[in-house]
């Protein structure tokens, strides 16, 4: 009612965060619907897509682009728009919404760090790499990542000034940074980040906890399943694999300990049959719909539920994830159109 | 003056205070608590309405009705206060007679009734109005239905006013 330690309840939430929640709900109303996708599918060229998008909330965002449009340009501009909306809210938010929005950006920061290190290992130019980074995950010491060669250096010179510093504690044992270890480092950082975010949402309590705990638990389980499937045939030992699973989620602890011992994908499917939600997801896959698509679809379903309640922070997180899914959809449709593969154009995931 | 009895007895506080304090408190609480409820309701509705009207400007004028309901809560508070006030006269017989005690306590009770009804009604109108603004921004046909809920919420303050008025008729005139 009056709110737990975190944000306000039904009587006090609006004082600090009511305006932003209403603003995000306005943004959400502009997410493309089935009717918009039906228009986009019928386009024959990217210029037609630009015309149709101009009639949605996107407006004239592609107006200044030079004439042969590329799908990468469309994706960049859509992302830029999303980032502007996020930054607009983040700049005005106060605690605890400010911390919550920061937590959303840490995931992108981890991706950027790994991207820069991998690029450095392949001797790419730092400025070129920084342009490819996700804009929501910028932090100040990004350029210094080119001088990093070991994990200890990574921590001491770069990460210690970023909010990612506490997440690297579990992988300070690694010495060298090479192809294999980079993935392990990425997954360790992400595991620590997810656990931290989950605990923070529990602290906030109320509606936020109710919505975010489901979403984050699914995220943890999805990471566990993907790590398992991707590690078949690599040098990652089973013990190391188990260390990378987040320690929360529907699959934790029994499911993850079983997953750690599997050797092929049929065993994985057998384990997941015990969990109703994942059994449905796996049975939903087919030749046209990969496991990843099924996961995306389930994620969209969970994120849509955040908008059913009021006075919680779930709407901010869910709006960003739904927009990202929309950008993936637009890019898929654009690629199908530009490569003349209209038969596959219906394989996007509808949101509303 | 009534015999105070044992000094730490349970009625010492009540019988040694001049009962007209309670009558004054009744007036104050009726107006004050209704004001708190109305203000809280304004705060809850206002932010949601403004945020939602960024994308959907048409709601900014329609939802002034929710604001009017909140204002009505405050007005009921003033009316209750005035009704209670009209019973307080210039009679200052000392020591206070038993009738004075009874009338004062009744006026205090009626003030508290109006006040508490005002707070809860203001809060209720606020929360419902906030939801109404957000729902109307998504789907315009929901406005009238949610407005009916707000009317009922606003009626709570009206009940408080009526109860207060009925209670004050039990207090003697020109107390």
At A176, phi and psi to the nearest 5?
-90, 150
CA–CA dist B115, B161 (Å, integer):
9
Question: What pLDDT is attached to residue B43?
Answer: 95
Question: What pLDDT is attached to residue B2?
Answer: 60
**How far lies A201's CA from each of A166, A187, A192, A261, B1, in Å?**
18, 21, 14, 31, 62
Q: How far is B48 from chain A (nearest CA, A)?
A: 5
> Containing H/E element for A317?
helix A314-338
Please name the member of B47, B54, B56 whose beta carbon is closest to the beta carbon of A18.
B47
Q: Residue A63, Cβ neighbours under 10 Å: how many?
A: 9
Residue of A26, A59, A312, A352 to mutate, testing the B interface (most B Cβ within 10 Å of its Cβ):
A26
* Residue A132 and residue A219 in contact, taking contact as beta carbons nearer than 8 Å: no
Q: Residue B54's closest chain A neighbor by CA?
A: A23
Closest CA to A107 of A86, A128, A81: A86
Count CA atoms closer than 13 A to B21's CA, side-chain side.
7
A88 and chain B in contact, CB less than 8 A: no
pTM of the model: 0.91
Cβ within 8 Å, pair B47-A10: no
Burial A148-170 (b: 16+ CB within 10 A, else e): beebeebbeebbeebbbeebbee
**How far lies A139's CA from each of A79, A109, A153, A330, in Å?**
18, 7, 17, 28
Residue of A9, A12, A22, A308 to mutate, testing the B interface (most B Cβ within 10 Å of its Cβ):
A22
* Residue B59 and residue B52 in contact, taking contact as beta carbons nearer than 8 Å: yes
B130 and chain A in contact, CB less than 8 A: yes
Question: What pLDDT is attached to residue A3?
Answer: 47
Q: Under the phi-then-psi rule, with left for phi > 0, alpha for psi from -120 to 50, and beta for the rest, what region is B171?
A: beta
B164 and chain A in contact, CB less than 8 A: no
CA–CA dist B36, A11 (Å, integer):
13
User: ipTM more than 0.90?
Assistant: no
SS3 A66: coil
The stretches in chain A having pLDDT less than 70 are: 1-5, 151, 170-180
Question: What pLDDT is attached to residue B3?
Answer: 60
CA–CA dist B171, B83 (Å, integer):
12
CA–CA dist A34, A261 (Å, integer):
42
* Residue B58 and residue B109 in contact, taking contact as beta carbons nearer than 8 Å: no
The pLDDT of residue B62 is above 80: yes
| Each residue's pLDDT tens digit, B105-149 | 999 999 999 999 999 999 999 999 999 999 999 999 999 999 999
Residues 20 through 39 of chain A touching chain B, CB cutoff 8 Å: 20-23, 25-27, 29-30
Q: Residue A331, Cβ neighbours under 10 Å: how many?
A: 16
Q: Residue A136, Cβ neighbours under 10 Å: how many?
A: 21
Q: How far is A49 from chain B (nearest CA, A)?
A: 23
Q: Dig out the tokens for B174 from the structure.
A: 């020109």
- Work out the average pLDDT over B40-62: 94
Cβ within 8 Å, pair A18-B131: no
Query: What residues in A contact B47, CB-CB < 8 Å?
Result: 14-15, 18-19, 22
Alpha helix segments (H runs only) across chain B? 12-16, 20-52, 59-62, 64-85, 98-138, 143-168
Closest CA to A219 of A241, A242, A187, A183: A187
CA–CA dist A32, A332 (Å, integer):
14
Please name the member of B43, B48, B126 whose beta carbon is closest to the beta carbon of A22.
B48
Question: What pLDDT is attached to residue A285?
Answer: 79
At A150, phi and psi to the nearest 5?
-140, 170
CA–CA dist A219, A224 (Å, integer):
9
Question: What pLDDT is attached to residue A8?
Answer: 80
- Residue appearing with tokens 């900014």: B60
């Amino acid at each position: 009612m009056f709110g737990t330690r975190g944000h306000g309840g039904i009587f006090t939430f609006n004082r600090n965060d009511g305006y932003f929640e209403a603003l995000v709900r306005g943004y959400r109303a502009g997410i493309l619907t089935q009717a918009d996708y039906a228009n986009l599918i019928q386009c024959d060229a990217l210029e037609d897509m630009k015309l149709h998008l101009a009639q949605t909330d996107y407006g004239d965002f592609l107006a200044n682009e030079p004439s042969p449009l590329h799908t990468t340009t469309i994706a960049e501009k859509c992302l830029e728009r999303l980032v502007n909306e996020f930054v607009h809210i983040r700049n005005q938010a106060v605690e605890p919404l400010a911390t919550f929005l920061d937590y959303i950006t840490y995931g992108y920061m981890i991706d950027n760090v790994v991207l820069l290190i991998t690029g450095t290992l392949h001797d790419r130019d730092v400025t070129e790499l920084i342009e490819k980074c996700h804009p929501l995950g910028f932090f100040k010491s990004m350029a210094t990542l080119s001088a990093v060669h070991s994990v200890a250096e990574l921590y001491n010179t770069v990460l210690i000034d970023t909010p990612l510093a506490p997440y690297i504690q579990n992988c300070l044992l690694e010495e060298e940074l090479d192809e294999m270890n980079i993935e392990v480092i990425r997954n360790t950082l992400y595991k620590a980040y997810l656990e931290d975010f989950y605990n923070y949402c529990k602290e906030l309590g109320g509606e936020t906890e109710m919505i975010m705990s489901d979403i984050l638990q699914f995220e943890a389980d999805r990471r566990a399943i993907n790590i398992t499937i991707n590690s078949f045939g690599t040098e990652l030992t089973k013990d190391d694999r188990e260390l990378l699973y987040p320690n929360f989620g529907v699959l934790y602890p029994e499911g993850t300990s079983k997953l750690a011992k599997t050797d092929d994908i049929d065993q994985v499917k057998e384990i997941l049959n015990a969990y109703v939600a994942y059994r449905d997801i796996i049975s939903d896959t087919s030749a046209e719909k990969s496991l990843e698509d099924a996961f995306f679809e389930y994620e969209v379903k969970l994120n849509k539920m955040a908008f059913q309640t009021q006075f919680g922070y779930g709407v901010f997180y869910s709006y960003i994830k739904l927009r990202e899914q929309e950008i993936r959809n637009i890019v898929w449709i654009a690629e199908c159109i530009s490569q003349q593969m209209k038969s596959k154009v219906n394989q996007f995931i509808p949101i509303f | 003056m009534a015999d105070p009895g044992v000094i730490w007895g349970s009625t010492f506080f009540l019988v040694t205070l001049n009962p007209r304090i309670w009558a004054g408190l009744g007036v104050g609480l009726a107006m004050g608590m209704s004001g708190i409820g109305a203000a809280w309701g304004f705060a809850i509705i206002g932010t949601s309405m403004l945020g939602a009207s960024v994308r959907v400007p048409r709601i900014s004028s329609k939802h002034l009705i929710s604001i009017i309901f909140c204002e009505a809560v405050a007005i009921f508070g003033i009316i209750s206060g005035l009704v209670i006030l009209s019973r307080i006269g210039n009679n200052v017989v000392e020591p206070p007679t038993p009738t004075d005690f009874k009338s004062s306590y009744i006026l205090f009770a009626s003030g508290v009734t109006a006040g508490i009804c005002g707070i809860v009604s203001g809060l209720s109108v606020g929360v419902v109005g906030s939801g109404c603004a957000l729902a109307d921004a998504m789907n315009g046909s929901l406005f009238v239905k949610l407005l009916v809920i707000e009317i009922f919420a606003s009626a709570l303050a009206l009940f408080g006013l009526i109860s207060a008025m009925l209670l004050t008729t039990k207090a003697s005139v020109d107390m």
